[in-house]
Homo-oligomer: A and B are copies of this chain.
Amino acid sequence: MAASNLRFGAHATREVGQDFSNMISQLPAAERSGAKIGVFTDPNVAKLPVMEVVEESLVREGLNWVVWDKCAVEPTDKSWQAAIDFARSSNITHFLAVGGGSSMDTAKAANLFTNYPEADLYEFINAPIGRGRPIERKLSPLIAIPTTAGTGSETTGTAILDIPSKSFKTGIASRALKPTLGIVDLNNTATCPREVAIAAGLDVLFHSLESWTAVPFNERTPRPANPINRPAYQGSNPISDIFSKWALETTIKYLPRISKDAQGDTEARAQMLLAASTAGIGFGNAGVHIPHAFSYPISSLNKGRPKERQYHHPSYAPDVPLIPHGVAVSLTAPAVFNFTAPSSPQRHREAAAIFMGDRAGELARVRDEDLGRVLQEEIRRFLDILGVPRGLSEVGYKNEDIATLVEGCMPQRRVLDLAPILAKDDKAQEREQLTHIVEGSMSW
């Protein structure tokens, strides 16, 4: 298992031009003059101080660079394709992502498809929607500068997109997509609105808790002949556990402070930013499971609903229907951890203890068979502090949508394969289990 290269600290962004200069100076002389940096960001982030710092640094180094500032928030097949077309036609040789997961994931896709100029969008997307071809070429250098404390995409080999025409959100997963360098700079989250910071923080919370409770690496099937062939999402393991648990503790401690003071509480912002990268390393190696599997149809189906039933999250662009990824993940999480608790009572007990803090002593009286219910309550209590919608009904889902949500979840094998307890070999039983989880997630 490898962690990404990370540079951290306030002001770490200032040297990004020099990083590219260093990379370019290592090219054969003939290629150096052709080097061109493509900066990928979204229209919002493009106007923030971070982009000024980035541009200043690129100018200072006298580099050749262009900006693509049309990354869509929660990108789609269309927005990816536009970014890819831009990168291909601009002959980008070095990639820079500045933004949240949306911009970072778009830059990963642009990098991939520029290095596979003949491939269409579905070539690498996870089966069954895409053809899931493995990435064998070495991609171009990519530096990722996160501006949210959320996805950890600066550390992962994952890129997520929504395909609204198929009501299907999925992605591409390969170690080849990992950024060359992540620049984790506290100054860059100072402008995040409260709602964005909370949604991003919820993503960190469940990256941590899902990877910490994922099927252990040595029980995951199919088992490769040589451990070196384990997939990136290899199941929970002793090293990802260190990251995941640290990120879990840190998020539970600091996210409520973000909710009270999203921009001014520098210590809380610093800890959440580090937790985001740390959870990224944890889940990027161990994987996530059911809450993420459900988040994809939850987010995607919202866009296809009649206008009057579409959900819009506060502080996100009012003209775009959106259940932010972190919120979508949270909606089934309480029911999921009630369901998974019997798989590893000790881990679920430790998780409950972290949520309970000073009240953890009460756990001594809780029997293993009651742990799931207790953990479910603790997660709900935590989400309430943050003002998260209390169930799927609050983002517009009705009982008649349950089957559709389950059908949208079941093909998400890459993550579902890491879910404990789930009856993966018996589709009827798996469907029943997932249905039960959605039913328990409608409202609380």
Q: Is A22 part of the contact surface with B, judged by Cβ < 8 Å? A: yes
Distance A237 CA – B15 CA, assembled complex (angstroms): 19
B2 close to A4 (CB less than 8 A): yes
Q: Given A3-B2, A15-B226, A218-B9, A242–B239 Cβ distance below 8 Å?
A: no
Question: How many monomers of this chain does the complex have?
Answer: 2
Distance A274 CA – B1 CA, assembled complex (angstroms): 13
Distance A274 CA – B238 CA, assembled complex (angstroms): 8
A6 in complex: contacting residue of B1, B5, B246, CB < 8 Å: B1
Distance A300 CA – B12 CA, assembled complex (angstroms): 41
B15 close to A227 (CB less than 8 A): yes
Shortest CB-to-CB span from A276 to chain B, Å, is: 12
How many residues belonging to A are interface residues under a CB distance threshold of 8 Å?
Answer: 30
Distance A181 CA – B226 CA, assembled complex (angstroms): 14
CB within 8 Å of B: which A1-54 residues: 1-9, 12, 15, 18-19, 22
Q: Is A428 part of the contact surface with B, judged by Cβ < 8 Å? A: no
Q: Is A243 part of the contact surface with B, judged by Cβ < 8 Å? A: yes
Q: Is A364 part of the contact surface with B, judged by Cβ < 8 Å? A: no
Distance A278 CA – B246 CA, assembled complex (angstroms): 14
Shortest CB-to-CB span from A115 to chain B, Å, is: 19
B246 close to A242 (CB less than 8 A): yes
Shortest CB-to-CB span from A299 to chain B, Å, is: 31
Shortest CB-to-CB span from A121 to chain B, Å, is: 30
Q: Which residues of B contact A217 (CB under 8 A)?
A: 9
Distance A218 CA – B8 CA, assembled complex (angstroms): 10
Contact pattern, A 242-253, Cβ under 8 Å of B = 1, otherwise 0: 110010000000
A9 in complex: contacting residue of B227, B242, B270, CB < 8 Å: B227
A19 in complex: contacting residue of B8, B226, B274, CB < 8 Å: B226
Q: Which residues of B contact A18 (CB under 8 A)?
A: 225-226, 228
Shortest CB-to-CB span from A427 to chain B, Å, is: 31
CB within 8 Å of B: which A151-203 residues: 181
Q: Which residues of B contact A243 (CB under 8 A)?
A: 242
A2 close to B5 (CB less than 8 A): yes
Contact pattern, A 194-233, Cβ under 8 Å of B = 1, otherwise 0: 0000000000000000000000011000000111100000
B6 close to A239 (CB less than 8 A): yes
Shortest CB-to-CB span from A281 to chain B, Å, is: 8
B2 close to A228 (CB less than 8 A): no
A22 in complex: contacting residue of B3, B228, B270, CB < 8 Å: B228
Distance A3 CA – B18 CA, assembled complex (angstroms): 23
Shortest CB-to-CB span from A192 to chain B, Å, is: 19
Distance A246 CA – B18 CA, assembled complex (angstroms): 34
A228 close to B19 (CB less than 8 A): yes
Q: Which residues of B contact A239 (CB under 8 A)?
A: 6, 8, 274, 278
B9 close to A1 (CB less than 8 A): no
Shortest CB-to-CB span from A229 to chain B, Å, is: 9
Shortest CB-to-CB span from A421 to chain B, Å, is: 23
Shortest CB-to-CB span from A138 to chain B, Å, is: 12
Shortest CB-to-CB span from A194 to chain B, Å, is: 24
Q: Which of A6, A7, A19, A238 has the most CB of B within 10 A?
A: A238
A228 in complex: contacting residue of B4, B7, B225, B226, CB < 8 Å: B7
Q: Which residues of B contact A237 (CB under 8 A)?
A: 8
Shortest CB-to-CB span from A273 to chain B, Å, is: 9
CB within 8 Å of B: which A274-288 residues: 274, 278
A7 close to B274 (CB less than 8 A): no
Shortest CB-to-CB span from A357 to chain B, Å, is: 16
B1 close to A5 (CB less than 8 A): yes
Q: Point out residues on A near B: beta carbons under 8 Å.
A: 1-9, 12, 15, 18-19, 22, 181, 217-218, 225-228, 237-239, 242-243, 246, 270, 274, 278
20 A-B pairs with CB atoms under 8 Å apart are A1-B5, A2-B3, A2-B4, A2-B5, A6-B239, A7-B227, A8-B237, A9-B217, A9-B218, A9-B227, A15-B228, A18-B225, A18-B228, A22-B226, A22-B228, A181-B228, A238-B274, A242-B242, A242-B243, A242-B246
With A1-B5, A242-B278 given, name 10 new contacts (CB 8 A).
A1-B3, A2-B2, A2-B4, A6-B239, A7-B227, A8-B239, A18-B226, A19-B228, A181-B228, A242-B242
